[in-house]
Structure 1
């Protein structure tokens, strides 16, 4: 599993959080991911592949997004409110 250095922030802020995660593959720009079952969702803004760093596949920069808004857009539904447990 590729190790990825993930940089996340909230929209309109520079409150970066940085940590290492293992993904089954490196996320791509525009893709949405969550870091745990109860974490916010993040949309990938930038991917920097780092083949020169031993053991590190990429750095990913992502912004926090509203999961209900994303679900509503992608599922083409007028009432999308989801609770994940």
Structure 2
């Protein structure tokens, strides 16, 4: 398990939440993550690998996103027109 220092925030907000989490691998830039089964979704903006630190494998910075909008766009679940 990779121990990752996760920094999260809302877009336009300079207040960061900072916590450590174990990941099976270090998330990469552009991926989405959630920190709880019913938690908010975040998009990884930046990854800083920290090979000099024995305590953590990386730091990631992520911004809160609207998971419903992401799912609709990625899964193509927008309503389609019907001529019935």
TM-score under structure 1 length normalisation: 0.90
Secondary structure of 2:30 counterpart:
coil
TM superposition shift of 1:35: 0.2
Secondary structure of 1:62 counterpart:
strand
Structure with max Cα Rg: 2
TM-score under structure 2 length normalisation: 0.91
CA distance in 2, matches of 1:57, 1:44: 16
Q: Deviations over 1:47-67 (max 9, x none)?
A: 000000003110000000000
Aligned residues: 79
TM superposition shift of 1:77: 1.5
Partner residue, 2:11: 11
- Runs (4 or more) in structure 1 with deviation over 4 Å come to none
Secondary structure of 1:38 counterpart:
coil
Partner residue, 1:33: 33
- Which sections of structure 2, spanning at least 5 residues, go unmatched? 80-84
- Which sections of structure 1, spanning at least 5 residues, go unmatched? 80-85
Give the superposed CA RMSD: 0.8
CA distance in 1, matches of 2:39, 2:15: 16
